[in-house]
Amino acid sequence: MESSPKILAGKKGVVFGVANKRSIAWAIAQALADAGAQLAFTYQGERLKENVEELTGTFGPGTPLYPCDVTRDEDITRVFDSLGKDFGTLDIVLHSVAFAPKDALEGLFINTSREAFRVAHDVSAYSLVALARGAAPLMPNGGSIIAMSYYGAVKVIPHYNVMGVAKAALEASVRYLAYDLGPKKIRCNAISAGPVNTLAARGIAGFTSMLKYYEEHAPLKRNIEGRELGDAGLFLASDMSTATTGQVLYVDSGYEIMGM
């Protein structure tokens, strides 16, 4: 039996934001790799190096892995220089990076410090702009840039606080990047995921009751699976979505459509 070529065969991508096997970045990376994409990865800090090395090693010993703190311009420059040498060109960038100081995700938004506001926006929103600028010269054939968002960008989710404001900036950045990069056939979209139990969600007060709330109130009456984020990533990364840019695609069991 002849098998049809895989949907991402010949495409090359880089994934920012794998911390461990529960990371959304890892779920999407697996879907992209299964579809035939050749992937490179970055990790944030020595603390995560071994863990990420072990995961990416499953794609073969030749899988590029670079350190990258997205708040450092020189790190980002070095990553795309390395990608130019290792891959030549690039088709896909996955941005799955966010951070706000823990105390800013507790209590009231009104108490957000200037520094927590700055850090949240630097790590979670500005970094997408910096990555897009680094990636574009490596995308002469066009490409797909994908960011991860959350409904707290649009409506108030208690305690999401400054992350909601940063995700609003991220979603607006997706639109402005889509406009700037459109003439180069580079698309930029976001996936707005329902809550997922990752390292980033661990320790967030009330997270378990949040999962339960989705089960009770979302149209599909359940939470989402990593595989479903992978499939949405696959759509946005592939030539299935060549007329879609600047969008936020909800993968949230339908929660976003509800008024009550």
Identify the residue among 64, 143, 195, 226 touching ligand 0WE (CB under 6 A): 195
Q: Tell me whether residue 179 is one of the annotated catalytic residues.
A: no
Considering the rule CB under 6 A, would residue 163 count as an interface residue with ligand 0WE?
yes
Per-residue 3-state assignment (H helix, E strand, C coil) for the chain: CCCCCCCCCCCEEEEECCCCCCCHHHHHHHHHHHCCCEEEEEECCHHHHHHHHHHHHHHCCCCCEEECCCCCHHHHHHHHHHHHHHCCCCCEEEECCCCCCHHHHCCCHHHCCHHHHHHHHHHHHHHHHHHHHHHHHHCCCCEEEEEEECHHHCCCCCCCHHHHHHHHHHHHHHHHHHHHHHHHCEEEEEEEECCCCCCCCCCCCCHHHHHHHHHHHCCCCCCCCHHHHHHHHHHHHCHHHCCCCCCEEEECCCHHHCCC
Considering the rule CB under 6 A, would residue 226 count as an interface residue with ligand 0WE?
no
Considering the rule CB under 6 A, would residue 221 count as an interface residue with ligand 0WE?
no
Residue 188 · residue 181 · CB < 8 Å: yes
Considering the rule CB under 6 A, would residue 178 count as an interface residue with ligand 0WE?
no
| Active-site residue identified among 66, 150, 151, 255 | 150
CB of 102 to ligand 0WE, least distance (A): 4
Considering the rule CB under 6 A, would residue 154 count as an interface residue with ligand 0WE?
no
Pick the stretch among 4-12, 22-30, 41-49, 196-204 that binds ligand 0WE (CB under 6 A). 196-204
Considering the rule CB under 6 A, would residue 255 count as an interface residue with ligand 0WE?
no
Q: Which is nearer to ligand 0WE, 19 or 139 (CB)?
A: 19
Considering the rule CB under 6 A, would residue 150 count as an interface residue with ligand 0WE?
yes
Number of residues located near ligand 0WE, criterion CB under 6 A:
14
Q: Tell me whether residue 160 is one of the annotated catalytic residues.
A: yes
Q: Which is nearer to ligand 0WE, 47 or 85 (CB)?
A: 47
Q: What residues are annotated to the active site?
A: 150, 160
Residues that bind ligand 0WE (CB under 6 A): 98-100, 102, 105, 150, 157, 159-160, 163, 195, 200-201, 204
